[in-house]
Amino acid sequence: MNFLRRITNHNLALVGLLILIPMFICAVTAPIISPHDPVEPDLKNILASPSWSHPFGTDTLGRDVFSRVIYGSRISLLVGFVSVGIATLIGIMVGALSGYSGGIVDELIMRFVDLMMCFPTFFLILAVIALLEPSIWNIMIVVGLTNWMGIARLVRAEIMSIKNKEYVLAAKAMGFPNRRIIFGHVLPNSLSPVYVVATLGIGGAILTESALSFLGIGVQPPTPSWGNILTQAKDNIEVAWWLSLYPGLAIFLTVMGYNLLGEGLRDIFDPRRRYQT
């Protein structure tokens, strides 16, 4: 309850939540609130402008853009959570092993992390996705496998500052196994910055998925995604402005919501800022 109270008392975090909660509601209740089938064409209403029956207009096949944007939120949120979950899990495991072990193990792991960070992430994702069959699952896995390095370095730094604390040394003196010390004492006290990075990372993953779908190597039609809706928009920008406005606005608001929430969590978890918000 104290954590929730701090979030609601923090302006940035509260605004982020107010943006994201409707997005979650739309994603969960999409089959209920969607007025039309998002993949069913209607050749009588091709590129119809926004109206009461089609609040966001229709696309080049007469499909309701409002319904497609709502269903697209499910894809974007799924990609964001799963890919960041994969990256966070790998980063925590690698960072914990490196920071707690130290010595040659730490040196080897960190040189591998540095090597991975030398590759431009987006172009690495493009290269891997181009070799695989375009699908939402491949996108989630590849995005997760190419974004764990920063989390690993963060966890390593946190664990290196914690592993010599008195309670950790006491656990070692009592003969606790390393696994118990890491998972029971060290990791729980080093994950606060990870929550912030993971929250910010969800917005980045949504942008990556949208970019890949826009380029035609992400989520494939007729499955609605904010990115592939924008693909149609670029060819009809002069006659159908709504095709670019509404999915673009959805991407903007969602990413901004996660960024604001992440900034708020950073202030909440930072003891130097906690009492300033």
| pLDDT tens-digit map of 178-206 | 778 777 778 888 888 898 899 999 999 99
CA 205 to each of CA 82, 90, 134, 186, 209: distance values in angstroms, whole numbers, following the listed order: 9, 16, 16, 28, 6
Burial 211-226 (b: 16+ CB within 10 A, else e): bbbbeebbbeeebbbb
Radius of gyration (C-alpha) of the chain in whole angstroms: 22
List pLDDT tens digits, range 116-148: 888 887 787 877 777 877 778 888 888 898 889
> E-assigned strands of the chain?
none
**Predicted confidence band at 164 (pLDDT cuts at 50, 70, 90)?**
confident
241 in Cβ contact with 175 (< 8 Å): no
**Structural domains of the chain, ranges and CATH numbers in brackets:** 9-26+56-274 (1.10.3720.10)
Write down the pLDDT at residue 277: 45
Average pLDDT, the chain: 86
First-to-final CA distance of the chain? 17
What dihedral angle (degrees, nearest 10) is formed by the CA atoms of 200, 205, 210, 214? 130
Amino acid at 243: L
Amino acid at 160: M
73 in Cβ contact with 81 (< 8 Å): no
55 in Cβ contact with 68 (< 8 Å): no
